[in-house]
Amino acid sequence: MRYQFLGVLLFSFLQGFGQWTPVSPLGIPLLVTAGFGEVRSQHFHSGLDFSTGHRQQPVYAVEDGEIYRIRTAAGGYGKAVYIHHPNGIGSVYAHLDRFAPEIEAFVRNIQLKQMRFDLDTLIHPGQIKISKGQLIAFSGNTGSSTAPHLHFELRDRATEAVLNPLEYGFAIHDTHAPEIRSVVLLPMKGYGQANASSGMLTLPLIYNKQTKKKSLSPKVKMPVLSGWVGFGYRGGDVIGKARNLSGIYEIKILVDSIEIFHARFDRFSFSETRCVNGYIDYPTRVRSKAVVHRCVVPANNMIGIYKDAQNRGYFYFDQHKVYKVRYILSDVAGNSTVQEIRVRGAKPTFSIAPLPADNPSVKTVYPAEDQSLASDNFEAEFWKECLFDTARIQLREKPVSGAYSPEVAFGSMYIPINQAVLIRMKPAAYPAWLRDKLVIVRQTGNKEVSLGGYWVGDWLSGKTTEFGDFKVVADTIPPKITFIKSHVRKAKASPKKKKSQPKTIGNVSAEKPPEYPKAVGTARFRIREFHSGLKDIHAWLNDQWVLLEPDDETGVYMYPFPDDLKPGVQCLRISVTDGSGNTGQLEMEFEKLQ
């Protein structure tokens, strides 16, 4: 059964795209488990996630068009298809298990020629034409995916900006209004207070059975605000029959009758997606993984979701009176939630403290400016797009064992970065043969990440999107390859037989022939790399190159033995090289029975 969508088509005309009446990308009712603009780690969600329950659900083209790009990767979108449509919109289908047979053959041919799994192939115009409703793939769980689903996107072909599919003919039957669980008061640093404190104040809402509305607890005194204060919330939207909270489409904040903030998640570009770290309260996210939506605009705004904001969304409280604050949260289907709270204003009595003076270990870095920091063994360059707000950045060095440089504490893990910061480190003395194996690693909390590195004179350079502790180490450990198992469908158990004893000839016992893993089904291998990332993965079966594919699990690769393999012992050899040139190998023999 095909599902036709006829609602919300007016948006297409208003935003400059031609008419279209798309069909569903799946042949089952659509259940949205993640919405457009939902907050993710280091990015906004760029489409809709449709639950499939399991892999192998047929995936269809939503409109006539032609495939212009195909990607296969161990991470990210996994296997993905990109289609251009005549009306100026593109559609993307990701985390696929496999492509339709003719597309699968096309991709496999390229992979075998290039001797690699990872591809990002641009298709010549008109080479692969697609009709509305045509089978293009089967849903899966490939790439950076935690459960079987279809990730679906719409894009503006002219700019490659992602569009909210719910505005373009993919209206889901939705009667649930967005939900606010807590309101958050956000004093401007140095210029505002909430309850005589400059820190963020979170106030949970409770449901009143009599009024059937949410409000602050009667036990909570009316908040007192003075100076510049903004607002935020914890909550989200429930789309259709899904029960998890997703992203909000439109947000407005009014103080009395004055609209001070308006944001709408209708579109954004991939260059803007890391602006999620300026949209949320980043320290809260780092500490507890909780999401606080900040209804204020960062000082260095770099995303177009903010439609209107007076004084960046902050309101100046200086009168001793009660103010009425209204949150209006809406979804594409027209459901809305209006949450009202009352706050008391007060004339500011606090003094505005100037920023502390810089010193050799702590410096002030301003947003929207090119700046640099340096110590004896460490340098950092900030571009205009690196920071969202003014930040005090520490730069401290200390000796550390097992490294070829001091460990440099750079910044704070609670300060967000938008565009990557360029860093350079000067290693201490090292053997010449080790030069190409030195990498920069970042320690943030308990997590260690390699930045790789490239040489500029005597300095090793790299880019970082997080602050932390940095040092130079040698990556000399080759990748490790471990055989996990061969996976085959279980057959009926045969009756147990008595174990036969080895035959004896004279005084010599005949040796039992070696037992090999069976060359049937799929063999799985875990590949572990320690610092610089995987560069090349190659495998040969009986000296003929074969393709290993990543499995759903991180670091697990699989090889399906062909059905027409001749009986006998088969030799499978795997070679893995990391970014520092270290190579790990595994050679195993499997047996194909008669």
How do the domains of the chain map onto residue ranges? 10-167, 179-345, 362-474, 480-489+512-592
Fold: same for 10-167 and 480-489+512-592? no
Q: What's the CATH fold of domain 362-474?
A: Chondroitinase Ac; Chain A, domain 3 (2.60.220)
Confidence of residue 507 (pLDDT cuts 50, 70, 90): very low
Q: What percent of the chain has pLDDT over 70?
A: 91
Predicted local confidence at residue 211, as pLDDT:
82
Do 565 and 519 meet the contact criterion of CB atoms below 8 Å apart?
yes
Q: With a cut of 70, say whether residue 11 has pLDDT above it.
A: no
Predicted local confidence at residue 173, as pLDDT:
83
Neighbours of 167 (CB within 10 A): 23
What's the per-residue H, E or C state across 229-279? EEEEEEEEECCCCCCCCECCCEEEEEECCEEEEEEECCEECHHHHHHHHHH
3-state secondary structure of 454: strand
Averaged pLDDT for residues 470-475: 96
Predicted local confidence at residue 209, as pLDDT:
84
For residues 307 and 368, what is the distance between their CA atoms, to the nearest angstrom? Answer: 20
Averaged pLDDT for residues 386-407: 94
For residues 207 and 226, what is the distance between their CA atoms, to the nearest angstrom? Answer: 28
3-state secondary structure of 474: strand
Identify the architecture of domain 10-167 in CATH. Distorted Sandwich (2.70)
Do 56 and 64 meet the contact criterion of CB atoms below 8 Å apart?
no
Q: With a cut of 80, say whether residue 446 has pLDDT above it.
A: no
**One-letter amino acid for residue 371 of the chain:** Q
3-state secondary structure of 75: coil
Q: With a cut of 90, say whether residue 515 has pLDDT above it.
A: no
Q: Two tokens at 257?
A: 């009758």
User: What pTM was computed for the model?
Assistant: 0.89
Predicted local confidence at residue 169, as pLDDT:
82
Instruction: Give the residue from 229, 278, 233, 230 showing the smallest Cα distance to 391.
Output: 278
Q: What percent of the chain has pLDDT over 90?
A: 77
Predicted local confidence at residue 212, as pLDDT:
82
Predicted local confidence at residue 1, as pLDDT:
34
Q: With a cut of 60, say whether residue 500 has pLDDT above it.
A: no
CA dihedral angle for residue 166, residue 169, residue 174, residue 177, rounded to 10 degrees = 40
For residues 391 and 397, what is the distance between their CA atoms, to the nearest angstrom? Answer: 19
Give the residue with greater pLDDT, 96 vs 175: 96
For residues 87 and 72, what is the distance between their CA atoms, to the nearest angstrom? Answer: 27
Q: Two tokens at 265?
A: 């998640």
- pLDDT per residue over 126-156, tens digit each? 999 999 999 999 999 999 998 999 999 999 9
Q: Two tokens at 439?
A: 């990498």
For residues 219 and 339, what is the distance between their CA atoms, to the nearest angstrom? Answer: 18
Q: With a cut of 80, say whether residue 496 has pLDDT above it.
A: no
Give the CATH H-level superfamily of domain 480-489+512-592: Immunoglobulins (2.60.40.10)
Q: With a cut of 90, say whether residue 16 has pLDDT above it.
A: no
- pLDDT per residue over 235-294, tens digit each? 999 887 667 788 899 999 999 999 999 999 999 999 999 999 999 999 999 999 999 999
Q: Is 491 buried (19+), middle (13-18) or exposed (0-12) by CB count in 10 A?
A: exposed
Q: C-alpha angle with apex 461: 455 to 467, nearest 5 degrees?
A: 165
Averaged pLDDT for residues 476-492: 75
CA dihedral angle for residue 360, residue 366, residue 370, residue 372, rounded to 10 degrees = 10
Segment among 325-334, 458-467, 489-498 with least mean pLDDT: 489-498
Q: With a cut of 70, say whether residue 340 has pLDDT above it.
A: yes
Q: Look at the block and give the residue holding tokens 């550390």.
A: 400
Q: Is 490 buried (19+), middle (13-18) or exposed (0-12) by CB count in 10 A?
A: exposed
Averaged pLDDT for residues 224-235: 98
Q: With a cut of 60, say whether residue 390 has pLDDT above it.
A: yes
Q: Tell me how far CA of residue 63 lies from CA of 87, 122, 152, 225, 342, in angstroms.
A: 10, 20, 13, 53, 49
Averaged pLDDT for residues 351-373: 90
- pLDDT per residue over 289-304, tens digit each? 999 999 999 999 999 9
